Chains A and B, each alone.
Chain A
């Protein structure tokens, strides 16, 4: 079965209804396990107990970036293949991505105060994440302002793709501008810089955040499909 067979909303509703409870349960279990393991780690020799913020902060940032990537891919599919389901999926991902971005910024700020001595510093990654939040907000505002469903979806898709092309450039320019944030410490040549005892809870939390995102995403897509059906039925009755 190809993924495009799922593009039929009826089929999608059937399949997603089966998967959704499992994904949600898996998210709950991994998040719980990650939190327990995260609280059990020994305090870091430099950062003390605040290192535990990492388990909430880093996965949020990862999920926020993944959400933008998925949104851009769904937008491209919606724009090229004209699948209404892809349009719905792209639009449903945006508020989730914005929330995860905001979560990353807030937890980072809470971590930055004890570590760097300031709630906010104008460092490369913080700044590009703030810009990512504005990109999400612009996308949501544009989608909300255009009433026609089809037109709104296509306008949003173009914006998402323009943003996806521009994001690496923004990232690069902001890094060029200044950098204080810690460099890449996990996916690097020569293995991770983080002790394994910290790595396990981090991966569990990352998996939990990702599953949580997918569960919420499915719920939002399903809600939108039901809403559209209800609207169509109301219109049909009115005429």
Chain B
């Protein structure tokens, strides 16, 4: 447990300090969301309609931005070898890495989304559903993204392949997440949040095994 927490806090510290990318992901999120009204026009009725989808897609892209370094940086400076040699199970290491990424990226993105929702004139019910759905869904983004990051850790241009691998797998999260926002705006009952919760739990449960297997194969000689 001590080594688990040590790894978790180390990764969070690395992410939030200079050059870690957590703050950059937030800035990227805000910048992408700002570009959308410039592209589609300033009609607030239209913007409030697409707010859930836009914020969800932007949040997924922003989370992906910092994912490619999740294992690669440790792989390049050799600390990944030491982490693998430590008594901590590799699956638990994967959980710590995913947790740190979520705490440093997913959670701040969720908080920022409530502020950005104001720019889109999202209703109160819609904003509540958005924040809740991001809170539930971003762990799945970190979990699936970690599989992609672990698979591409030894590839020099891994950051280009990662989105192609990860984005199709994240389609359910985007569908259920933005669907929950739309349903809340229209005042309709919807199972989207439950389905999103199920998807997220499944991803968080299964992905550490895939991540650990991917790290192992990349370190095997």
A residues lining the B interface (CB < 8 Å): 131-132, 134-135, 137-138, 141-142, 145-146, 151, 154-155, 158-159, 161-163, 165-166, 169-170, 172-174, 176-177
Contacts and interface: CB of A to CB of B under 8 A. Distances in A.
A161 B213 CA distance: 12
A20 B55 CA distance: 52
B17 interface: no
Main secondary structure of the interface of A (DSSP, over half): helix
A100 B213 CA distance: 30
Contacts of A159: 147, 151, 165
B161 A177 contact: no
Given A137-B164, A138-B161, A158-B213, A151 B218 contact: yes
Given A134-B167, A142-B161, 10 more contacts: A138-B164, A142-B151, A155-B151, A158-B210, A161-B210, A162-B147, A170-B168, A172-B172, A173-B175, A177-B175
A134 B164 contact: yes
B214 interface: yes
Contacts, number: 75
B171 A131 contact: yes
B179 interface: yes
B176 interface: yes
Contacts of A146: 154-155
Interface of B: 147, 151-152, 154-155, 157-158, 161, 164-165, 167-169, 171-172, 175-176, 179, 195, 199, 202, 206, 210, 213-214, 217-218, 220
B158 A145 contact: yes
A218 B210 CA distance: 30
Given A137-B164, A158-B214, A159-B165, A169 B152 contact: no
B195 A173 contact: yes
Main secondary structure of the interface of B (DSSP, over half): helix
Contact of A162 (B155, B167, B169): B169
Contacts of B167: 134
A142 B175 contact: no
A142 B206 CA distance: 21
B165 A176 contact: no
Contacts of A131: 168, 171
Q: Which of B158, B172, B210, B213 has the most CB of A within 10 A?
A: B172
Nearest to B153: A155
Nearest to A148: B154
A158 B175 contact: no
A169 B172 contact: yes
Nearest to A135: B168
30 contacts: A132-B168, A134-B167, A134-B168, A135-B169, A138-B161, A138-B164, A138-B165, A138-B168, A141-B161, A141-B164, A142-B152, A142-B161, A142-B165, A145-B158, A146-B155, A151-B217, A155-B151, A158-B214, A158-B217, A159-B151, A163-B169, A166-B169, A166-B172, A170-B168, A170-B169, A170-B171, A172-B172, A173-B175, A173-B176, A176-B179
Contact of A173 (B147, B171, B210, B218): B171
